[in-house]
Chains A and B, each alone.
Chain A
Amino acid sequence: MLSLIVFLPLAAAAVLAAVPASAGKRVFTGSWVVVSAVDLALVVAAWIGYAPGMGLAYEQRLPWIPSAGVSYHVGVDGLSLPLVAVTAVLFLACAVHSLRQTHRVKSFALLFLFLQTVSLGLFTALDLILFFVYFDLSIVGMYFVIARWGHGNARRSALTFFLYTFLGSLALLLGFIGLSLAAEPHTFDIVELARADPLAGSGARGALVLLAIGVGLAVKTPTVPFHTWLPPAHTDAPAAGSAILAGVLLKMGTYGFVRIAMPLLPAVWRQYAAVVVVLGVVSVLYGALVALAQEDFKRMVAYTSVNHMGYIVLAVGAAGLAAGSDEQARSLAVTGAVTQMISHGLLTGALFLLAGVLHDRAASYDMGSYSGLATTAPAFAGVTGLVVFASLGLPGFSGFIAEFQIFTGSLVSATIATALALLGILITAGLLLRALHRVFLGALRVPGSPGAAHDFTDLKPSETVSIMPLLALAIVIGVLPRFLLDVIEPSAATLIGVVSS
């Protein structure tokens, strides 16, 4: 079942690759949307079949490279199933959004189908090498998306992105090797490693392994000070690329913390949790402050991602602090972290697709050169407004649920840090509202035609159909969060049980 979900897009890509590009773009965009929709339907079926609290489900394990301790091991639990779902949703949204794509449609569709397999594969992988393979391939896929379809200084941004995240991935690989060599017999299987806890009480060695894994994940997340690749990559990527990069690829880093760093190195994680908390708080504040200074809309959203990812890092760090022995609070923090991954995926994905609308109409993200768009594009203004409110954590939206849980859960064990991080919410609220104000209110002004008011068309059907469901989901989670939390909570409690013991 899981393998079908993971490899369906790749199989479709292989079939489409055989179709000549002259068949017309409708063939490719059409089948891309259909495949993503079918894949999402399969994920929904898997969700319905998953009983909360059942632990790992849909497991499958085949020997791959037995002599090196590597196997093809997949499965989902409450931590990964929501991410699988949000991945499927976002890729479908990007497929719909790209219906009007005209530039090299065939390879664009193939590349995104490939990326979809890679992303779904990562969230279902239960083997470190399998995880790493997907982790690396996501970098390769995104490099091509930015380099070929990006704008501005795309090649340079793509190169920075590749070099930076690849360095992170190799640090991750070193950490994985260290973990596997510590286990007897050597294995890369996540479940077995969690059971064996090979680096318990190993002192410096465990710290080095956690450092390698931590750096690898922090680069991908990204956490200050490893975030510098993110703004250029986001700014120069095409809209769908940014949405996937922010919505899915960044989650690979944070997901790694809850799937690998915490359960496989529980004792070391507890020991260094304070460092993680500090990094989280710095990311929160620094991301918010730098976002405040941006003139470029996309760049601003990119920095708010650093801020939002900071909350997650704070939460997973607080969950490891031994000071607060309150297991329930720490479990709440982890639940909040996973919810935040989902919420950020949906909302930032939507924001980047909306930013794509700006670029599509007037080829600029410069907020200073826009004004009063609400008069000619009310739907665009309305949707953007809602997404922005959701993103700054207003009650009734998914962001509120996530942040509320994170702060409540972290407050007990990391009081000062949490109090500082709360300031981040204030700053993001301010900067997002200011952006709304500048772009949508006042007299109409659109860059590209000095003097006369440029025509700015409202949302087109493909844009509405791709963005609205993301917003709708964020509202559903905000109003009726139980269906999501019921799935996450038991797994979060299990994780905390592992980290505490």
Chain B
Amino acid sequence: MSPAALTPELTLTAGAVLGILLGSWLPRHRQWVVRLLAALACLVGLTATAAAIGGAPQLVFGGSYAVDTATNAGRVIVLAATLLTICLSIDTVGSHPRETEFYVLMLLAALGTIMLVGATDLLLLMAAYLLASIPLYALAGFAKDALGTEASLKYYLMGALLGVIMLTGITALYGAGRSTGYATLAQTLPSGPPAAVAVGLVAVLAGLLFKIGGVPAHFWVPDITEGASTPVAAFVTTVPKIGGLIATYRLVAEALPAAGVNWPLLVAMLATASMTLGNLAAFFQDTVRRLLAYSTISQVGYLLLAVTVATRSEIALPALLFYLAAYAVTNLGAFAVVAALPHAPNLADYRGLARRHPGLAAALVVCLLGLVGTPPTAVFLGKLEIFSAAIDGGYTWLAVVAVVNTVASLFYYLRWIAPALVAAPETDSEKVLAPAGRWPVLGAYTAAAASLALGVAGGVVLPLVSGPSLL
């Protein structure tokens, strides 16, 4: 194998190591150098990935890591999302005593997420899970305040518990299939003991569900989203999903295609539960962050549609990858608006936004309607693809459930849009709607524009995610 195939991963590693070394020597007001380094690492990784797109799919690391269209797409989405999160966090952690640690942890989490995307071996999957989780536990409690610490502790306990369960599952699958490599498992599992395979699958899925924040492993999502700082919340609700979902897809499509377990039905139930419970819980939230938290839980449900029909529809993988990209920019855009208005935690505080900051209001409307899936935003195209895949794969009922949920979700997104449009009493909105700085605003504009561009220019992007894949 050639190390060149892993340039993006190596760049992130180098960025993290260099960053921590550099940060130890830099005075506090010069730590922006590390931020620059982190951004640079992402950019180099993006360039390397762009160069690798379209190459022949290959397995590296003795067959435990795949470099194919799905991995490349995952890399691009994770790196771009990390870059956008760095933009959001500049005003929050600028000149913070531990600014260096913040960015290094973020790079490591991004690296772990990318490893999740490419892993084709259960043990590498477990290692990636840990690398993608542990930095985030620390980031969640970064501010050292009561809410953040509690959130961080809850996040850690859930992660540790489900990680152990996942490890148990890996053991069971290893016992049943005599291997941890997906390629071998695909051949051995169908003849393995069905009960062990089922237990192993459910346990491994438990860990991955924790990563993506899907029901029933979703309890940490609202606490983190409310307790951690906004950039961390944005990162945690967006980036790990990319890794977790592609990893789940790989697991079911590569290791279990013919296993006796009815995993499509299991995933379909999880999808239904995620979108329905997420939506129902979001209905009457009054703080924007909790609303976004439950909205991300419901989005996982739509994304799981593609996993359900992983082996039944050829368009499932492009649909998943495109939806992930669309979701990432749109969700980060909504969080960017929240980050730009730190003094407006409640829905009612957004009264008069359209009057005071028309640009931010426009970005908010684009992102929220984007999350609903209104054309011509990117999520619309993602939903079109994912619904098509579900119907194509014979899961029409699931597509109908998703449609009903989409309509229900509209209700709470509009509860946020509506106050932004009405005029506010002049006096207090001055202070409440004071923007934090120009970086989050820039992030919001970028994300909203990207969401629209990705939707309109979907014809250019879709072929990139439909390329040759090992799946």
Given contacts A162-B410, A166-B410, A180-B388, contact A174 B418 (CB under 8 A): no
- CA A136 – CA B374 in complex, angstroms? 7
**Interface pair B384/A137, CB less than 8 Å apart:** no
Q: Which one of A62-70, A323-331, A336-344, A477-485 contacts B?
A: A62-70
Scan A209-222; emit 1 where CB is below 8 A from any B CB, else 0: 00000000000000
Q: Is B308 an interface residue (CB 8 A)?
A: no
Q: Is B303 an interface residue (CB 8 A)?
A: no
Can you list 27 residue pairs at the A/B interface with Cβ under 8 Å?
A: A63-B459, A65-B459, A65-B462, A67-B318, A67-B463, A68-B381, A133-B375, A133-B376, A136-B375, A136-B380, A137-B374, A147-B418, A148-B422, A159-B411, A159-B414, A162-B414, A163-B410, A166-B407, A167-B403, A170-B403, A170-B406, A170-B407, A174-B391, A174-B399, A178-B391, A181-B388, A181-B392
- CA A492 – CA B18 in complex, angstroms? 72
A30-74 residues at the B interface, CB under 8 angstroms = 63-68, 70
- CA A148 – CA B352 in complex, angstroms? 12
Overall SS of chain A's interface: helix
B402-442 residues at the A interface, CB under 8 angstroms = 403-404, 406-407, 410-411, 414, 418, 421-422
**Interface pair B385/A140, CB less than 8 Å apart:** no
B355-414 residues at the A interface, CB under 8 angstroms = 369, 372, 374-376, 380-381, 384-385, 387-388, 391-392, 396, 399-400, 403-404, 406-407, 410-411, 414
Q: Is A173 an interface residue (CB 8 A)?
A: yes
CB distance from B30 to the nearest CB of A (A): 40
Q: Is B458 an interface residue (CB 8 A)?
A: yes
Given contacts A65-B462, A174-B400, A181-B388, contact A147 B406 (CB under 8 A): no
- CA A67 – CA B459 in complex, angstroms? 7
**Interface pair B374/A66, CB less than 8 Å apart:** no
Overall SS of chain B's interface: helix
Scan A140-178; emit 1 where CB is below 8 A from any B CB, else 0: 100110011000000100110011001100110110011
Q: Is A129 an interface residue (CB 8 A)?
A: yes
**Interface pair B421/A65, CB less than 8 Å apart:** no
Q: Is B13 an interface residue (CB 8 A)?
A: no
* Smallest Cβ-Cβ distance to B400: which chain A residue: A174
**What residues on B are CB-neighbors of A64 within 8 Å?**
458-459
- CA A177 – CA B392 in complex, angstroms? 9
Q: Is A132 an interface residue (CB 8 A)?
A: yes
**Interface pair B418/A159, CB less than 8 Å apart:** yes
**What residues on B are CB-neighbors of A132 within 8 Å?**
375
- CA A171 – CA B387 in complex, angstroms? 12
**What residues on A are CB-neighbors of B318 within 8 Å?**
67
* Smallest Cβ-Cβ distance to A65: which chain B residue: B459
- CA A144 – CA B376 in complex, angstroms? 17
**What residues on B are CB-neighbors of A167 within 8 Å?**
403-404, 407
**What residues on B are CB-neighbors of A171 within 8 Å?**
403
Give the residue of A63, A129, A147, A166 whose beta carbon is less than 8 angstroms from that of B384: A129
Give the residue of A65, A67, A163, A174 whose beta carbon is less than 8 angstroms from that of B387: A174
**What residues on A are CB-neighbors of B385 within 8 Å?**
68
- CA A171 – CA B396 in complex, angstroms? 12
Given contact pairs A67-B318, A186-B388, a sample of 15 additional A-B residue pairs in the complex whose CB atoms are under 8 Å apart: A67-B466, A68-B384, A68-B458, A68-B459, A70-B459, A140-B374, A144-B421, A159-B414, A163-B407, A167-B404, A170-B407, A173-B384, A173-B403, A174-B399, A177-B399
CB distance from B133 to the nearest CB of A (A): 35
- CA A68 – CA B407 in complex, angstroms? 24
B451-466 residues at the A interface, CB under 8 angstroms = 458-459, 462-463, 466
**What residues on A are CB-neighbors of B459 within 8 Å?**
63-68, 70
Interface residues on B, range: 20 to 34
Given contacts A67-B462, A167-B407, A171-B403, contact A137 B388 (CB under 8 A): no
**Interface pair A65/B458, CB less than 8 Å apart:** yes
Pair count A-B, CB < 8 A:
85
**Interface pair B421/A148, CB less than 8 Å apart:** yes
Q: Kindly name the residue among A166, A170, A177 whose own CB sees the greatest number of chain B CB atoms within 10 A.
A: A170
**Interface pair B391/A137, CB less than 8 Å apart:** no
* Smallest Cβ-Cβ distance to A71: which chain B residue: B459
- CA A498 – CA B380 in complex, angstroms? 32
**Interface pair B387/A177, CB less than 8 Å apart:** yes
**Interface pair A65/B381, CB less than 8 Å apart:** yes
**What residues on B are CB-neighbors of A170 within 8 Å?**
403, 406-407
- CA A177 – CA B374 in complex, angstroms? 16
CB distance from B316 to the nearest CB of A (A): 13
Sorted nearest first, the 9 A-B pairs with minimum C-beta distance are: A65-B459, A133-B375, A167-B407, A170-B403, A67-B462, A65-B458, A177-B388, A136-B375, A64-B459
A102-146 residues at the B interface, CB under 8 angstroms = 129, 132-133, 136-137, 140, 143-144
**What residues on B are CB-neighbors of A68 within 8 Å?**
381, 384-385, 388, 458-459, 462
A63-114 residues at the B interface, CB under 8 angstroms = 63-68, 70
**Interface pair B376/A173, CB less than 8 Å apart:** no
- CA A171 – CA B380 in complex, angstroms? 14
Given contacts A65-B459, A140-B369, A181-B391, contact A163 B411 (CB under 8 A): yes
- CA A133 – CA B384 in complex, angstroms? 11
- CA A136 – CA B458 in complex, angstroms? 18
Q: Kindly name the residue among B381, B384, B406 whose own CB sees the greatest number of chain A CB atoms within 10 A.
A: B384
- CA A140 – CA B370 in complex, angstroms? 12
- CA A323 – CA B58 in complex, angstroms? 63
- CA A145 – CA B387 in complex, angstroms? 30
Q: Kindly name the residue among A65, A136, A167, A180 whose own CB sees the greatest number of chain B CB atoms within 10 A.
A: A65
**What residues on B are CB-neighbors of A70 within 8 Å?**
459
**What residues on B are CB-neighbors of A166 within 8 Å?**
372, 406-407, 410
